[in-house]
Amino acid sequence: MADSDKPQRSAGHSMAMRALEEARENAKAKGQFTGRGRRDPVRSTVRRRKGGWTAAGADHWDPQSLGSLISKVAKKQGWDDQVVFGRMQTRWPEIIGEGNAAHVVPEKLDDGVLYCRASSTAWATQMRLYQKQTLQNIAKAFGPNIVRRLRINGPAAPSWRKGPLHVKGRGPRDTYG
């Protein structure tokens, strides 16, 4: 390249360059960083994440489905049993059959035990006979060890209390449930 092709520099430019070189030498003598200005302007606008760049596979920075986010929140808050129980109530006829579901309803899920209420003692006995099959159907639908035991109760006994006053004691003795 010929001297005529180089851009002409002013005297002010050369003074600034000399001052810059002196400042760099002073900084280097003090053990300070003597950078050469900004990096590539295109790359400097991209921020690196703390953990590094993300890979091609899925990670927590990728968009998440609403269902997976809700399940993460439910696990974090300890609501797993309530969420599973709500799903179980909606699919109950599918799990135990339409005929049985008309007479036996799930009441609550507590620490792996599913409490159910039957409309009569006969239906409670019937469901106790099919307990193993019901547990297998629940495991197939919701995963293993969600429900480890079934507790099937008969109908609630009627209350014999009438009015504001009553006598302490067991009341009439009869078997209900």
Domains of the chain by range and CATH? 77-153 (3.30.300.180)
36-51: pLDDT as tens digits: 655 544 444 445 555 5
Tell me what pLDDT residue 44 has.
47
Q: Where are the beta strands (DSSP E) in the chain?
A: 104-110, 113-118, 149-153
- The pLDDT of residue 56 is above 50: yes
In percent, the amount of the chain with pLDDT more than 90 equals: 31
Average pLDDT, the chain: 80
Contact 106, 85 (CB under 8 A): yes
